[in-house]
A = this chain, B = another copy of it.
Amino acid sequence: MLDLLTDSKRSVSDIAAHFEMSRPAVSQHLRVLLDAGLLTEQRHGRERRYQFVPERLGLVRDWIAQYERFWDNHLQRLQEHLSKGGPNG
């Protein structure tokens, strides 16, 4: 579902058409994702268009980053260092 919402805004019915579950079920999923801050909602007339906003995944990434000594300690530090002056402030 997030994949579906990565590149495009989509209406609920549109999303539901890609899955086997009912539209209300999709609505409930969207609600959870919206509450989690992973989606934005835009109202256009009677439609609501949702889009994935991955910023919040940064929290998960940060949590994981605590344990990244294993993967590449040095690169990790470089990343942290650069990101302070990077595109995200």
Contact = CB atoms under 8 A, between A and B. Distances in A.
Interface of A: 2, 6, 52-55, 57-58, 60-61, 64, 66-68, 70-72, 75, 79, 82-83, 86-88
Nearest to A79: B75
Contacts of A87: 70-72
Given A60-B64, A61-B61, A70 B86 contact: no
Contacts of A86: 71-72, 75
A61 B88 CA distance: 19
25 contacts: A2-B67, A6-B66, A53-B70, A54-B67, A54-B68, A54-B70, A55-B70, A55-B71, A57-B64, A57-B67, A60-B60, A61-B61, A61-B64, A61-B68, A61-B71, A70-B88, A71-B83, A71-B86, A71-B87, A72-B82, A72-B83, A75-B82, A75-B83, A75-B86, A79-B79
